[in-house]
Amino acid sequence: MNKEISITINGEVYQQSVPIRMLLVDFIRDIAGLTGTHVACTYEGVCGACTIHVDGEAVKSCLMLAVQADRRTITTIEGLAIHGKLHPLQKAFNDHHALQCGFCSAGILMNMAEFIRTNRKPTEAEIRNALVGNLCRCTGYAHIVDAIKEVVGDAGSTGAVHQ
Amino acid sequence: MYPAIIENYDAPTSVHDALQALAKRGNESYFVAGGQSLMQAIKARVISPKSLIDLQHVTELKGIEYNKGAVRIGAMTRYRDIAADERLDGAYQALRDAARHVGDRQVRNRGTIGGSLCWNYIAACMPPTCIGIGASLDLVSRAGRRSLLAEAFLQGPLETARRDDEIVVAVTLPAAPMMCGSAYKKWGLVNDALPVVGVCASVELGDDRRCRVARLAIGGLATGPRRAEAGEKALIGVSATDASAISNAAETAAASTETQSDIWADAEYRKKLIETLAREVIATAFARAERGKHS
Amino acid sequence: MNHVAKQPGWVGRQFNRKEDHRLTTGKGQYFADIVVPGMLHLVFVRSKHAHARIKRIDISAAKAIPGVVAVVTGEDIRGAIKSLPQPVVVPALPARYPTFWPLAVDKVKFNGEPVVAVVARDKYVAEDAADAVEIEYEPLPYVGNMEDALMPGSPVVHDGWENNEMFALTFTGGATPDSQATNDAEVDHLITSADIVVKSRYRVHRCGVTPLEPRGALATWDDADGMVAWITTQRPHIDRLAMSDVLDIPTEKLRVIAPRDQGGAFGVKAPFYREPILVCYMARKLGRPVRWLETREEHLMSVSQERDQIHDLEIGATKEGRIVALRDRGLADNGDGCEGVYWGYLMPFLGAALLPNAYDLPKCDIKIRVACTNKAVLSPARSFGAYPTRFAVERAIDRLAHRLNKDPADVRRLNLIASLPYVTATGVHYDSGDFLKVWDYLIKTIDLPKFRAEQREAWQRGHYIGVGFGVGAELSGVASSVLVPMENQPGYGAATVRLDPRGKVQVFEGDAPAGQGHESSMAQVVAQEFGIHPNDVTVTHGDTSTTPFGSGTIGARAGSYTMSAIAMACRVLKKKIARVMAHDLKLEADPDDFVFVDGNIIFTKSNNVRKTFREVVERIIMAPLNLPSGETGGLEYTAFFEADAPMICFSAHAAFVEVDANSGQIKLTRYVTSEDVGTVINPQIVEAQVQGGVVQGISNCLFEQFIYDDNGQQLTSTFENYKLATAADVPSVEVHHEAGTPCPHTPLGSRGLGEGIPGPVPGALTNAVCDALKPFGIEIDELPLRPDRVWRALKEANRPAAAE
């Protein structure tokens, strides 16, 4: 019923015995105390507010059990800025007013942080399509898309990508 | 919201160990592949597995191999990787069409072709696509191996021919003839939603550039994914430029498919959707076949 | 697109939000992030039936599960918790108010009504225990259709009621039956004798604006200090009063806190709901902290359902297209009607009051009836009741235009109110604005003649493109004169502005934002007033212990009322500062002779005479000697702002679509708005409000629908089935507010704009589709606007016309 696991989150190792049924998002929020990752749907896993990186790839942490992340490396929103230096997306979101209530923002930032790393010059349609797994109720998405466009514009021209 | 108590969790690293775990845990255990569908069911307590056998570390189940044109896709290959594999273009490009639009990119980072086929949910893309391109599944148990055509494997909704002691290890495709093309498209209310209806078309052209073999498969049906044989027949002898014959085949496919009504579309509009999608994917399949790309 | 006012200071200037840093680095403080040591988890068992008597509840298996602390049923609490209605949450309107407790008593009235509450030490265990509760029901007939519900002989939802009519009102023709009868007869005559009459039934489905963050309540109790309750609410001060009354907790021992960060609200978090009552009750009963965190499924089953109205609307018009009279019979499906403050019916009430919209319609006969059914009660949603009434009128105008073979844009303009102030036939006061200017700006921006030429050419090619319009004269805050009768609550904006000896400012206000950026925009207002930087200003909100009474973040109050109170308080303090400065410098001066800019206070008659803001402030607070006679030390002021009259903001929308005539698929290609928001405080925030509000309107119109089956089972309680628009489904909105006029009734000239934005959207979208398909003569009067509906309409149109 319980299993001893070891998960690295934002560079820190968490070793814990947890119920097998514990969701990864609950491990992150309740055990590691990192509440930046949010839960906004029940079991359907549609909203994307729980998006984190597992070994650098964006996944929904509500659709995984904590035991499935044993010996794996997780990055949450709290780990996106490195040594206090904001990720270009975090800065662009502020400049473009790409968040209102902010509840969806962590999930979007984590998803897009991977997306822009693997898609150097996306079109607006590709950006919007990449955002399908993140529901936002407040912004209508327009400023989010603007913020991402600015960052990929920069990434495309200089070739430098943060993280 | 939260799963019921799960007693055991195994994370084997080989098919052999996975089968061993299966034997040990018995039939109240579930394999978990990408978990994008299974976890929904577990959290909703629609199923309450006593044991979970997690296949994510079984490397021999991952990857796409090519051998003289024949394709072998490990059951644990993710949508993301299928979507990116250009070698599938032409004959088996429907797989890429489908894989690119499942769910969203987070789902595609975890979800697998094997998981989708074993779950065989009504609103899924891999089942009709695999039927449409004539794929087979390799199943392994401690007793041996067998291979089944996708359309024999996939039965009614949430039902497959997999026995309790078997693991699906791969999806296989034969080396395709020179001029063969396939395409898949779905319709849902919002972008990339679970398909209300999904249609896969695969055509093989003869030297005369007319259709010699056609396959049409429909997903989103209460019966489970089905071939539309009447529509397939209507494509024999048709050429890519014959828009009206393609349209006719699409209409025939729609008319001959038993559809259901639900909150997304009634039975009649479902037929309209099948017709519209079929017209498009047939035309695309023809175009891809004409390009004659090897798989 | 962004109109940034070219004026010095902070109002009208882009200012990156202060909230963003914490919200983009995972440091937000939302409800679910609040942890109190030892807190217990409460889970509800909700009714599986739409309408049933509760025969038996067996909680023994649930209680036996280790870790379960308590299990309570309706019978347990009916003697211990006062039922609603209680006066503080009852409007001063003539409706029938159903009696209810936080848990079902005797029977359940909708699929999802809370029946049992389980409290456990672990949230997973709480769910195990909830599953173990056994309830035996005796099903009753399902009342699921609002028209049938109002027929004689219908099964009745509420025991003791003789029918299902919860509310009915006539909105026109004065206050007496006689005056109304006279008015009705006059309207009838005008319609029957009009050149042209357009009559249709317009129907908007059940949908709403569900926020991404679900609800929650966490309460602690101490026998000496009383209760602290964190609630995801837009109205902490109101909740505090209501909770005090219902649970008999003296108000001085009750503190309600709306979390600093909330993940959207849009009206859904405004009512006084069942669940927080039970949470607070259990915390006091157990003497331990109790927390309920709603799941999305619970949420979609029990709240966020709005719209759902039918309007039989007739307009009579001249052959030029000028409407001479309007008659409306509206119906609303209010579910079980059990909801504090709003009772579900206030939305259709306000929607009917706002039905005339921005059109000059002096002769109207408007009546509505609101029915109870076995569904969840309507909860407020952005646009508050007016989404369906806007749809009805906008569609009627386009139908009129089609009948007259005129451009709907021209017919619309002909009927827009040409001069303000204006009082509608329903008695709603529109204070100011220039609707024609805003409208003309829209038409110019979209270059309508050019589009019409493109459209004609496209039709030749069998390509169907169209444009549709909608307008909205929307509430800008809610005056006491409206809010007191409507909700028994005041409308004034209130704020405390406190200066400190370092020249920094703290603002305290009692509302509870959920994404509107008030910490930043309010800081901009203060910074502008005092000539300091917004980073020197902090805003505390939502805590009833530390903020002045506020009615809450509703109806776009912040931009209109609360900001105004802040500005007023600043100006009172500025006068005092100026008086003291003049006195200290022995100047013959009025307060108006000083400007506050760039951290300095400068005497306008001689620029060399100046002091820093900080030194004067410090002097008044810390060294209050030799002050002008009558003055005391200290610099803190609480201001209350009440507008002279109810205020509005106005917007005009244009939607462009492409329709596939074969399959009915709709593609939204462009969406443009022209807004009058008065003085813009933060341009990005204004634009973002429009982007978000329009997309909510689009999502409602095209994708979202709450569906109950024939047995009252709610089929749309996950995001898989209740579909919200994704980024790939919508365009960016082109937002223009160049044609606005400052509001003469607020200190800043600002208007609140957030509330009504979705209202014009369904009319604009549906009109666009009908416009695109004009060669087929399609008219669509029912939502949702789905491809299959369009396809069916096209099939009908292609049939030979039936004999008239």
Interface membership of A67 toward B (CB under 8 Å):
yes
- Do you find a cis peptide bond into C421, omega within 30 degrees of 0? yes
Q: Which of B9, B106, B110 sits opposite A20 (nearest CB)?
A: B9
Residue C682 has a pLDDT of 83
Q: What is the pLDDT of residues B40-70, one digit of tens each?
A: 999 999 999 999 999 999 999 999 999 999 9
The answer on pLDDT for A161 being more than 70 is: no
Interface membership of C584 toward B (CB under 8 Å):
no
How far apart CA C156 and CA C141 sit, in angstroms, is 9
Let me know whether A65 and A97 are in one domain.
Answer: no
Are B73 and B82 within 8 A, CB to CB?
yes
Q: Pick the residue of B46, B189, B247, B273 with the most C CBs within 10 A to test the interface with C by mutation.
A: B189
The minimum CA-CA distance between A154 and chain B, rounded to whole Å, is: 23
Let me know whether A46 and A26 are in one domain.
Answer: yes
Across the beta sheet with B29-32, the strand order is B8-10, B51-54, B29-32
A133·B40 Cβ contact <8 A: no
Q: Which residues pair with B72 in a beta bridge?
A: B65, B172
Residue B106 with chain A: CB contacts under 8 Å = 48, 51, 58-60, 111, 133
The residue type found at C318 is T
Output the CA torsion sign for B285, B286, B287, B293.
positive
Let me know whether B82 and B151 are in one domain.
Answer: yes
How far apart CA B22 and CA B32 sit, in angstroms, is 12
Let me know whether A95 and A142 are in one domain.
Answer: yes
Residue C716 has a pLDDT of 98
Are C490 and C522 within 8 A, CB to CB?
no
Token output for C57: 């509840």
Rounded to whole angstroms, what are the CA distances from C633 to C164, C625, C636?
A: 61, 8, 10
pLDDT band at B293 (very low <50, low <70, confident <90, very high): low
Q: What is the CATH number of the domain that holds A96?
A: 1.10.150.120
Residue C721 with chain B: CB contacts under 8 Å = 263
C210·A137 Cβ contact <8 A: yes
A60·B2 Cβ contact <8 A: no
Structural domain count, chain B: 3
Are C411 and C400 within 8 A, CB to CB?
yes
In a domain, B2, yes or no: no
Let me know whether B278 and B258 are in one domain.
Answer: yes
- How does the average pLDDT of chain C come out, rounded? 95
Residue C799 has a pLDDT of 67
Q: Which of B1, B263, B273 sits opposite C295 (nearest CB)?
A: B1
The answer on pLDDT for C507 being more than 80 is: yes
Interface membership of C764 toward B (CB under 8 Å):
no
The minimum CA-CA distance between B33 and chain A, rounded to whole Å, is: 11
Residue C656 has a pLDDT of 98
How far apart CA C381 and CA C384 sit, in angstroms, is 5
How far apart CA C261 and CA C230 sit, in angstroms, is 12
Share of chain C above pLDDT 90, in %: 88
Please give the model's pTM, rounded to 2 decimal places: 0.96
Interface membership of C560 toward B (CB under 8 Å):
no
Token output for C89: 């949450």
Q: What class is the C34-140+211-265+269-302 domain?
A: alpha beta
Let me know whether B121 and B209 are in one domain.
Answer: no
For the residues B223-231, what does the mean pLDDT come to? 97
Are C691 and C735 within 8 A, CB to CB?
yes
Q: How many other C-beta atoms are found inside a 10 Å radius of the C-beta of residue C521?
A: 26
C715·B263 Cβ contact <8 A: yes
How far apart CA C229 and CA C257 sit, in angstroms, is 6
Q: What is the CATH number of the domain that holds B91?
A: 3.30.465.10
The answer on pLDDT for A60 being more than 80 is: yes
According to DSSP H, which parts of C657-726 are helical? Answer: 683-702
Q: Pick the residue of B28, B31, B43, B104 with the most A CBs within 10 A to test the interface with A by mutation.
A: B104
Q: Pick the residue of A42, A59, A62, A116 with the most B CBs within 10 A to test the interface with B by mutation.
A: A59
The residue type found at C152 is P
Let me know whether B67 and B169 are in one domain.
Answer: yes
- Do you find a cis peptide bond into A19, omega within 30 degrees of 0? no
Max CA-CA distance within chain B? Answer: 62
Q: What angle do CA B236, B240, B243 make, to 5 degrees?
A: 90
The residue type found at C405 is N
Prediction ipTM score? 0.96
For the residues C650-657, what does the mean pLDDT come to? 98
The answer on pLDDT for C2 being more than 70 is: no
Q: How many other C-beta atoms are found inside a 10 Å radius of the C-beta of residue B147?
A: 12
Tokens 């800025």 — which residue?
A: A81
Let me know whether A67 and A121 are in one domain.
Answer: no
C127·B1 Cβ contact <8 A: yes
The phi, psi pair for C16, rounded to 5°, reads -60, 135
Are C591 and C584 within 8 A, CB to CB?
no
In a domain, A163, yes or no: no
A94·C24 Cβ contact <8 A: yes
Residue A132 with chain C: CB contacts under 8 Å = 726-728
User: Hey, is C348 helix, strand or coil?
Assistant: helix
Token output for C703: 């994708």
The answer on pLDDT for C802 being more than 90 is: no
Distance from first CA to last CA of chain C, Å, rounded?
A: 49
Give residue B133's Cα distance to chain centre. Answer: 9
Residue A44 with chain C: CB contacts under 8 Å = 296, 718-720
C788·B266 Cβ contact <8 A: yes
Structural domain count, chain A: 2
- How does the average pLDDT of chain B come out, rounded? 96
The minimum CA-CA distance between B268 and chain A, rounded to whole Å, is: 28
How far apart CA C100 and CA C77 sit, in angstroms, is 11
Q: Which of B2, B3, B190 sits opposite C703 (nearest CB)?
A: B190
How far apart CA C214 and CA B15 sit, in angstroms, is 42
Q: For residue C540, with 0-12 CB atoms within 10 Å meaning exposed, 13-18 middle and 19 or more buried, which class applies?
A: middle
How far apart CA C529 and CA C449 sit, in angstroms, is 45
Are C652 and C760 within 8 A, CB to CB?
yes
Q: Pick the residue of C298, C791, C798 with the most B CBs within 10 A to test the interface with B by mutation.
A: C791
The minimum CA-CA distance between B272 and chain C, rounded to whole Å, is: 7
How do B167-173 and B70-74 pair as beta strands? antiparallel
Let me know whether A64 and A101 are in one domain.
Answer: no
How far apart CA C106 and CA C101 sit, in angstroms, is 11
The length of chain A in residues reads 163
For the residues B8-31, what does the mean pLDDT come to? 96
Let me know whether B28 and B107 are in one domain.
Answer: no
Let me know whether A24 and A70 are in one domain.
Answer: yes
Among B9-23, C40-54, C500-514, C679-693, which stretch is predicted with the lowest mean pLDDT? C679-693
Rounded to whole angstroms, what are the CA distances from C295 to A37, C49, C112, C132, C299?
A: 16, 19, 12, 18, 6
The answer on pLDDT for C185 being more than 50 is: yes
Max CA-CA distance within chain A? Answer: 52
Q: What is the DSSP letter of C686?
A: H
Are C694 and A137 within 8 A, CB to CB?
no
Residue C662 with chain B: CB contacts under 8 Å = 276
How far apart CA C649 and CA C49 sit, in angstroms, is 43
Q: What is the DSSP letter of A86?
A: P
User: Hey, is C578 helix, strand or coil?
Assistant: helix
The answer on pLDDT for C742 being more than 50 is: yes
Please report all neighbours of B, defined by 3+ CB atom pairs within 8 A: A, C
The answer on pLDDT for A154 being more than 80 is: no
Let me know whether A27 and A72 are in one domain.
Answer: yes
Q: What is the pLDDT of residues C767-790, one digit of tens each?
A: 999 999 999 999 999 999 999 999
Q: What is the CATH number of the domain that holds B32?
A: 3.30.43.10
Q: How many other C-beta atoms are found inside a 10 Å radius of the C-beta of residue A57?
A: 17
Q: What is the CATH number of the domain that holds A10?
A: 3.10.20.30
Are C667 and C785 within 8 A, CB to CB?
no
Domain with B17, as residue range(s), is 8-54
Q: Which of A3, A43, A133 sits opposite B1 (nearest CB)?
A: A43
Which residue of chain B has the CA closest to C724? B190
Tokens 């039970």 — which residue?
A: C278
How far apart CA A111 and CA A54 sit, in angstroms, is 11
Q: Pick the residue of C729, C785, C789, C796 with the most B CBs within 10 A to test the interface with B by mutation.
A: C729
Residue A159 has a pLDDT of 28
Among A59-63, C103-107, C228-232, C645-649, which stretch is predicted with the lowest mean pLDDT? C645-649
User: Hey, is C340 helix, strand or coil?
Assistant: strand
Listed in sequence order, the residues at least 6 apart from C278 whose beta carbon sits closer than 8 Å to its beta carbon are C42, C72, C77, C81, C102, C103, C114, C117, C292
Interface membership of B106 toward A (CB under 8 Å):
yes
Residue C294 has a pLDDT of 98
Q: What is the pLDDT of residues B131-184, one digit of tens each?
A: 999 999 999 999 999 999 999 999 999 999 999 999 999 999 999 998 999 999
Let me know whether A103 and A140 are in one domain.
Answer: yes
For the residues C331-355, what does the mean pLDDT come to? 97
Let me know whether A69 and A12 are in one domain.
Answer: yes
Closest alpha carbon to C347 in C236, C266, C405: C266
Are C107 and C50 within 8 A, CB to CB?
no
Are B288 and B183 within 8 A, CB to CB?
yes
The minimum CA-CA distance between C541 and chain A, rounded to whole Å, is: 15
Q: How many other C-beta atoms are found inside a 10 Å radius of the C-beta of residue B50?
A: 15
At the topology level, CATH places domain C306-479+645-798 in Aldehyde Oxidoreductase; domain 4 (3.30.365)
Q: What is the pLDDT of residues C382-439, one digit of tens each?
A: 999 999 999 999 999 999 999 999 999 999 999 999 999 999 999 999 999 999 999 9
pLDDT band at C8 (very low <50, low <70, confident <90, very high): low
How far apart CA C165 and CA C371 sit, in angstroms, is 5
C663·B190 Cβ contact <8 A: no
Q: Please say which residue of A35, A54, A79 terminates a domain.
A: A79
Among A96-100, C402-406, C475-479, C548-552, which stretch is predicted with the lowest mean pLDDT? C475-479
The answer on pLDDT for B81 being more than 60 is: yes
Q: Which of B190, B191, B272 sits opposite C663 (nearest CB)?
A: B272
Residue C717 with chain A: CB contacts under 8 Å = 42
Which residue of chain B has the CA closest to A115? B105
How far apart CA B240 and CA B234 sit, in angstroms, is 13
Q: What is the pLDDT of residues C27-80, one digit of tens each?
A: 999 999 999 999 999 999 999 999 999 999 999 999 999 999 999 999 999 999
Interface membership of B47 toward A (CB under 8 Å):
no
Let me know whether B154 and B73 are in one domain.
Answer: yes
Let me know whether B142 and B211 are in one domain.
Answer: no
The phi, psi pair for C327, rounded to 5°, reads -130, 130
Q: For residue C607, with 0-12 CB atoms within 10 Å meaning exposed, 13-18 middle and 19 or more buried, which class applies?
A: exposed
In a domain, B50, yes or no: yes
CATH: 3.10.20.340, 3.40.50.300, 3.30.365.10, 2.40.30.160. Which one for C19-28+492-641?
3.30.365.10
Helix (H) / strand (E) containing C670 = strand C666-676
Max CA-CA distance within chain C? Answer: 93
Q: What angle do CA C365, C367, C370 make, to 5 degrees?
A: 170
User: Hey, is C576 helix, strand or coil?
Assistant: helix
Q: What is the pLDDT of residues C252-303, one digit of tens each?
A: 999 999 999 999 999 999 999 999 999 999 999 999 999 999 999 999 999 9
Listed in sequence order, the residues at least 6 apart from C460 whose beta carbon sits closer than 8 Å to its beta carbon are none
How far apart CA C166 and CA B42 sit, in angstroms, is 41
How far apart CA C43 and CA C115 sit, in angstroms, is 11
Domain with A64, as residue range(s), is 2-79
Residue C800 has a pLDDT of 56
Q: For residue A116, with 0-12 CB atoms within 10 Å meaning exposed, 13-18 middle and 19 or more buried, which class applies?
A: buried
How far apart CA C103 and CA C81 sit, in angstroms, is 10
The answer on pLDDT for C644 being more than 80 is: no
Q: Please say which residue of B173, B205, B224 terminates a domain.
A: B173
